[in-house]
């Protein structure tokens, strides 16, 4: 046989997916063809093919519950690079011809495998892989280095088009100047055969548009990892006084090692004027994609800045999570108008389990006015890092029962990806939502104080105040429930009233506590009287000279939590949130904070807290959010204290040692709207107790003893309410 086996036929043979006669013919060929033997032996230990074989066998055995088809990307790589060992037959078998039912043109291939379709300079163009408005993209080989690259060739018809040619040269120059792991790297550029070309690194993987088409909406974990990488690369671009102007899924490429690469800088524009590389378009020209274009970009590309890229990336984030663009109308013009005039959609309407901090991030990225948006990609990266760095078991194992799943391969890929260090923003812009200037803060304080004295306009100012500070109050929720892949519960606003002035004694207590906390590996947040909260503080030198209240303390350095340590916080009259999670805690430690009547959020997950230790929180009557997740020493007896906390709206009991008897103690907590009992011994016996939580909106029972019938009964009961939504995981 003078022809080698195709990868398709070889893979079918390895998967035992051929009829008997064809299988024997392939076996004979393998015994006699060194080339095919070598192809198979090189990849003899591939794990991906073994996974596929297991899935294939499960499917043959009728076990559809464990059968998960692979994406086309996975199949492509199986064909090209994942061949396991072949058990060669020891018995000589006579040669046979292939059955006529098989097309030899498909199953067999000639060697050499491919020949160049064109030669440009030192590059052999092997295969066309894409085409855009300015050029054609080819998979290519450097003729001397034998290195695989991607070559972008300006369309011949555009060679005489001065604008197109100059724009192509701009892309060559821009990419050549940029060097960042999240931006496609240029390796060469030049002119040949009356055209110009750009050579870039070869990327193995797919763009996000293709992935969305194949996989559908991505998981929260994967989407955040992708968004974070794209934002970091864009911040690097913005630091070089460039704006991409065409961010969309097809211009973001996900490699097989989980790295995001930003593509297509052909539309990139300079942020400052007077450069030789200034825009090649007139003021009225619209550049970009209507589905992702910021309102101001549709009006004039001459006046936009990096915040337009932030808007486009926000639209992309929405599509990664939902599979839909935020604004889709019948025509591009109608879509552009919708971006400008229609209300911003909410992620929670599509994904009830979306965390509040991610909803807030999306909303802040797609505000109509650039001044109202989050101002830099660096801030986007910071928020996502806070989210992704949460060491939460449920984040790393997002439920496969929901419609938010993509292939396990993609999820694991994103989780294992090493993220590049954050790029700091070199330029900042004032923002009414995230970065108020000191001058504005001072002015706003004056207005608030005057309004209190005069008792006029207080409602308007209060709404303004809350809207500008809700980022602080809501991002704290992530540490409360410690379940990032679900929407957080509603809770009281810690800033519904201006914080009053401090006495000199109280000011000393607050500052001493802040200094002690910072000396002991804590992060804190503070608020000044009648003013704004400060960003997270990690060092004493960041404390202001003016008086302040301590609002949040998070023990980030792992340490034993004792009564003596917490006693240093006992005098804080406005402490709103305390994070003790992941730190071992002594039984008597919480007795020191039993007088913190202002405390609303307490995070004790994975702290080793016991029933005895928990009993000390009975006096925390203002508590709204309590997380006890991953504390196996919490039993039914420990839940007796919950009945005394009648303001609770969020309770996390996942992976505690509770059963149906414990649920009796919380059935009268009528304000609870968010409850997690995953991984507990709670069974169908507790269905009647759960029904008494009349405000319940989110319930998580995966891994508990509640049956499918019980889940359905709960779901049907709460779905009958007309005034409140209800979400249960897993869904019935």
Report the distance separating Cα 47 and Cα 60, nearest Å. Answer: 20
Q: Distance between CA 710 and CA 85 in Å, rounded?
A: 48
**Dihedrals phi, psi of 677, to nearest 5 degrees:** -125, 30
**Hey, is 258 helix, strand or coil?**
coil
Is residue 128 within a helix (H) or strand (E), and if so which, with residue range?
strand 123-131
Q: Which of 320, 319, 308, 424 minimizes the C-alpha distance to 367?
A: 308
Tokens of 605: 């997950």
Residue 130, CA atoms < 13 Å, CB-side half-sphere: 15
Query: In sequence order, what DSSP letters do the residues of 88-126 get, joined into one string?
Result: --SS-----PPPTTS-HHHHEE-SSS---SEEETTEEEE
- CA angle, corner 519, sides to 516 and 521, nearest 5? 115
Q: Report the SS3 class of residue 704.
A: coil
Q: Which two tokens stand for residue 443?
A: 């002015």
Q: At what angle do helices 356-365 and 306-322 cross, to 10 degrees?
A: 140
Helices 220-239 and 408-416: crossing angle in degrees, nearest 10, is 40
CB-based burial, 180-204: b 16+ in 10 Å, e otherwise: bbbbbebbbbeeeeebbbbbbeebe
3-state SS, residue 48: helix
Burial of 49 (0-12, 13-18, 19+ CB in 10 A): buried
**410: helix, strand or coil:** helix
Q: Which two tokens stand for residue 399?
A: 């439920």
How far apart CA 322 and CA 406 sit, in angstroms, is 12
Pair 569, 593: CB distance under 8 Å? yes
- Return d(Cα 209, Cα 292) in angstroms, integer: 13
Cα distance between residue 708 and residue 722, in whole Å: 24
Determine whether the annotation assigns residue 152 to a binding site. yes
**Nearest-angstrom CA–CA distance, 322 and 318:** 6
Neighbours of 277 (CB within 10 A): 15
Residue whose token pair is 């040269």: 169
The 8-class DSSP code of residue 625 comes to E
Question: How far is it, in rounded angstroms, from Cα 86 to Cα 33?
Answer: 13
Catalytic residue among 158, 207, 246, 309: 246
Alpha helices (H) along 61-207: 72-81, 104-107, 162-177
CA distance 684 to 618: 29
Residue 449: its H or E element: helix 438-454
246 catalytic residue (yes or no): yes
CB 375 within 8 A of CB 435: yes
Distance between CA atoms of residues 282 and 302, nearest Å: 8
Q: Taking a C-beta distance cutoff of 8 angstroms, is the pair 729, 353 a contact?
A: yes
Lookup: tokens for 231: 């934002």
Q: Which residues contact 99 (CB under 8 A, 6 or more apart)?
A: 19, 21, 22
**Cα distance between residue 703 and residue 574, in whole Å:** 38
Annotated binding site: 152
- Catalytic residue IDs: 246
Binding site per annotation, positions for ATP: 152
């Amino acid at each position: 046989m003078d022809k080698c086996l195709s990868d398709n036929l070889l893979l079918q043979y390895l998967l035992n997916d051929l009829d008997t006669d064809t299988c024997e013919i392939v076996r004979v060929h393998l015994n006699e063809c060194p080339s095919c033997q070598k192809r198979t032996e090189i990849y003899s230990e591939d794990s991906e093919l073994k996974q596929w074989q297991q899935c294939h066998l499960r499917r043959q055995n009728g076990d559809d519950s464990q059968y998960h088809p692979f994406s086309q990307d996975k199949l492509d790589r199986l064909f090209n690079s994942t061949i396991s060992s072949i058990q060669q037959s020891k018995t000589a078998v006579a040669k046979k011809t292939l059955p006529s039912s098989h097309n030899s043109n498909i199953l067999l291939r000639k060697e050499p495998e491919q020949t160049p379709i064109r030669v440009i300079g030192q590059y052999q163009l092997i295969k066309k892989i894409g085409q855009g408005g300015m050029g054609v993209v080819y998979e290519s080989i450097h003729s001397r280095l034998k290195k695989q690259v991607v070559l972008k060739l300006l369309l011949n018809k555009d060679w005489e088009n001065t604008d197109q040619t100059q724009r192509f040269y701009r892309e060559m120059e821009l990419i050549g100047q940029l060097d960042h792991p999240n931006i496609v790297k240029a390796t060469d550029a030049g002119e040949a055969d009356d055209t110009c070309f750009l050579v870039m690194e070869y990327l193995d993987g797919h763009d996000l548009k293709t992935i969305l088409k194949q996989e559908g909406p991505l998981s929260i974990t994967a989407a955040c990892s992708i968004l974070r990488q794209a934002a970091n690369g864009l911040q690097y671009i913005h630091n070089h006084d460039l704006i991409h102007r065409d961010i969309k899924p097809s211009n973001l490429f996900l490699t097989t090692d989980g790295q995001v690469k930003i593509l297509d800088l052909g539309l990139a524009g300079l942020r400052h004027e007077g450069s030789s590389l200034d825009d090649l378009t007139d003021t009225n020209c619209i550049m970009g994609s209507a589905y992702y274009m910021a309102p101001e970009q549709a009006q004039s590309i001459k006046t936009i800045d990096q915040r337009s890229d932030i808007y486009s990336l926000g639209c992309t984030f929405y599509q990664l999570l939902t599979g839909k663009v935020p604004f889709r109308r019948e025509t591009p013009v109608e879509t552009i108008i919708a971006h400008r005039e229609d209300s911003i959609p909410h992620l929670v309407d599509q994904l009830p389990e979306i965390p509040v901090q991610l909803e807030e991030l999306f909303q802040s990225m797609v505000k109509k006015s650039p001044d109202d948006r989050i101002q830099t990609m660096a801030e986007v990266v910071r928020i996502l890092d806070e989210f992704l760095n949460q060491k939460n078991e449920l984040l790393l194992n997002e439920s496969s029962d929901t419609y938010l799943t993509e292939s396990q391969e993609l999820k694991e890929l994103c989780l294992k990806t090493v993220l590049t260090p954050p790029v700091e923003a070199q330029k900042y812009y004032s923002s009414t939502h995230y970065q108020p200037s000191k001058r504005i803060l001072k002015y706003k304080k004056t207005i608030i104080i005057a309004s209190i004295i005069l008792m006029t306009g207080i409602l308007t100012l209060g709404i303004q105040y809350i809207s500008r500070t809700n980022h602080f109050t809501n991002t704290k929720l992530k540490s409360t429930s410690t379940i990032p892949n679900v929407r957080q519960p509603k809770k009281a606003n810690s800033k519904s009233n201006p914080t009053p002035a401090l006495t000199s004694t109280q000011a000393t207590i607050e500052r001493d506590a802040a200094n002690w906390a910072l000396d002991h590996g804590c992060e804190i947040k503070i608020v000044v009287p009648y003013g704004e909260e400060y960003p997270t503080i990690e060092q004493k030198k960041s404390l202001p000279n003016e008086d302040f209240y301590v609002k949040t303390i998070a023990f980030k350095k792992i340490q034993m939590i004792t009564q003596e340590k917490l006693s240093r916080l006992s005098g804080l009259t406005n402490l709103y949130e305390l994070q003790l999670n992941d730190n071992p805690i002594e039984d008597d430690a919480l007795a020191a904070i039993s007088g913190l009547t202002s405390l609303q959020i307490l995070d004790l997950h994975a702290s080793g807290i016991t029933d005895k230790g928990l009993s000390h929180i009975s006096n925390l009557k203002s508590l709204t959010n309590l997380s006890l997740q991953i504390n196996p020493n919490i039993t039914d007896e420990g839940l007796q204290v919950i009945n005394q906390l009648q303001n609770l709206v969020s309770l996390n009991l996942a992976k505690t040692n509770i059963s149906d008897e414990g649920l009796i103690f919380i059935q009268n907590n009528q304000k609870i709207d968010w409850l997690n009992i995953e991984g507990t011994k709670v069974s169908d016996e507790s269905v009647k107790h759960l029904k008494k939580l009349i405000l319940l909106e989110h319930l998580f029972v995966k891994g508990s003893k509640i049956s499918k019938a019980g889940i359905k009964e709960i779901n049907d009961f709460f779905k009958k309410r007309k005034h409140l939504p209800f979400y249960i995981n897993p869904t019935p």
